Copies of this chain bind each other. A is one copy, B any other.
Amino acid sequence: GAGRVTLVGGGPGEVDLLTLRGRRRLAEADVVVVDRLAPTAVLDELDPDVQVVDVGKTPDHHPVPQEEINRILVEHARAGRRVVRLKGGDSYVLGRGGEEVLACRAAGVEVEVVPGVTSAFAVPAAAGIPVTHRGLSRSVTVVSGHEDVDAATLARLDGTVVFLMGVTMLPRLCADLVAAGKPASTPVAIVENGWRPDQRTTRGTLGDIAATAARRGVRSPAVIVVGAVAGLAGLAGVADEEG
């Protein structure tokens, strides 16, 4: 049969936050290529003959290069298999899905994208934080926190800023934003393990959150929310443990 690749955005972690279409593609799959942040509990529901390829980490704990992931997707599809590439969140939001689509297209492999619930918005929601809210924020910017960020421009935004993958850079991120003119009193919330049983929220301000996070041992995966919405009270989320 004709192999194909489907990129499935797996959502923020709980299996039932997958889309119906994503779940159906998984049920039809011959091969599932998964990431570390994918909702891996869904793998337990696969038929035993489905091949699961974990590209979240190599045996020596290094990330699998993107080119190698592309090669795996193409190779299985060319062998006639229905391949699902399952990631956390949405494949096109800092997920390198575009590269995988282009690699498939270049190899003549049919490819489909099933969007997912992005962790950038759903993880704050799990802690009771709406990324936009009347009177507080009319925009939201999502940026990777583990690369150099344009703090000068981010500091000028009056809306919410969400950092993915930024925990290790937190002290510098906060310092750079304050140096660029963002008030040190700007609320910040860090949500670890969103939608998972060990979800934990740490709150503070740009001025004090780095110290608080260090004291509490905040670790990735975590989503960092900067802006007035992070200080909103009364919308506590699904598992709002303030620790």
Partner of A98, one of B98, B101, B122, B232: B232
Q: Who on chain B is nearest to A124 by CB? A: B92
Contact across chains for A12 and B115 when beta carbons are under 8 A apart: yes
Contact across chains for B157 and A153 when beta carbons are under 8 A apart: yes
Contact across chains for B134 and A157 when beta carbons are under 8 A apart: no
User: Closest approach, in angstroms, between the C-beta of A194 and any C-beta of chain B?
Assistant: 10
Given the known interface contacts A235-B101, A235-B105, the answer about A156 and B159 at a Cβ–Cβ threshold of 8 Å is: no
Considering the chains assembled together, what is the distance between the CA atoms of A68 and B135 in angstroms?
A: 19
**Complex interface residues of chain A between 1 and 45 (CB less than 8 A to chain B):** 9, 11-12, 14-21, 23-24
User: Mask for A91-128, Cβ within 8 A of B = 1, else 0?
Assistant: 11111111101100110000011111110011011001
Per assembly, the copies of the chain total 2
Considering the chains assembled together, what is the distance between the CA atoms of A157 and B155 in angstroms?
A: 11
Considering the chains assembled together, what is the distance between the CA atoms of A153 and B12 in angstroms?
A: 30
Contact across chains for B131 and A92 when beta carbons are under 8 A apart: yes
- B-side contacts of A133, CB under 8 Å: 92, 98-99
Contact across chains for B18 and A20 when beta carbons are under 8 A apart: yes
Interface size class of A (residues with CB under 8 A): 35 or more
Contact across chains for B20 and A115 when beta carbons are under 8 A apart: no
User: Mask for A146-163, Cβ within 8 A of B = 1, else 0?
Assistant: 010110110011110000
Given the known interface contacts A94-B138, A134-B96, the answer about A112 and B19 at a Cβ–Cβ threshold of 8 Å is: no
Contact across chains for A143 and B115 when beta carbons are under 8 A apart: no
- B-side contacts of A21, CB under 8 Å: 14, 16-17
Given the known interface contacts A16-B24, A98-B235, A139-B141, the answer about A93 and B121 at a Cβ–Cβ threshold of 8 Å is: yes
Q: Could you list some 20 contacts between A and B, CB below 8 A? A: A16-B21, A17-B19, A19-B20, A20-B20, A90-B117, A92-B132, A93-B131, A93-B132, A93-B140, A96-B134, A98-B232, A99-B134, A101-B128, A106-B234, A115-B125, A117-B117, A138-B147, A141-B157, A150-B156, A150-B158
5 more contacts with CB within 8 A, not counting A115-B125, A138-B143, are A19-B19, A92-B131, A98-B229, A101-B130, A102-B234
